[in-house]
Amino acid sequence: MPSVPTAQYSNTAVATKLFEGMAMGLAALVSDLPGRGEFIRTERCGLAVEPGVQGHLEGVRRLLARRADLPGMGARARAAVARRYSWEAVERDLVDFYGALCSGPG
């Protein structure tokens, strides 16, 4: 699932499709941009490549050369999404955030 920046979207935004693919157990191939590359490297669940067609083409080649590693990358991707971005993982932060909004300043 390549993630290539476009003029329409911010370079710092992380596409929902990235997390959807990871939740399905797919290894990620992303542009090495803020919010993406570091996450993928830390979780060891895919590759972060130079933004643009050539970077992504090289990333596909590297992934194909490492086919045996893809199931492990996919499993780590699924685990990372469940651990960091599931409803259970973000519930407390959301409850605290909305509680602070409702209580107002001070």
Q: According to DSSP H, which parts of the chain are helical?
A: 16-23, 37-43, 53-65, 70-85, 87-103
Which range (5-14, 44-53, 93-102) has the least confidence? 5-14
CA distance 7 to 70: 30
Q: What is the pLDDT of residues 22-77, one digit of tens each?
A: 999 999 999 999 889 999 999 999 999 999 999 999 999 999 999 999 999 999 99
**Closest C-alpha among 85, 75, 36 to residue 59:** 36
Nearby residues of 47 by Cβ (< 8 Å), 6 or more positions away: 27, 28, 29, 30, 40, 59, 62, 63
Q: What is the pLDDT confidence band of residue 105, given thresholds at 50, 70 and 90?
A: confident
This prediction's pTM: 0.75
Give the chain's radius of gyration (CA, Å).
16
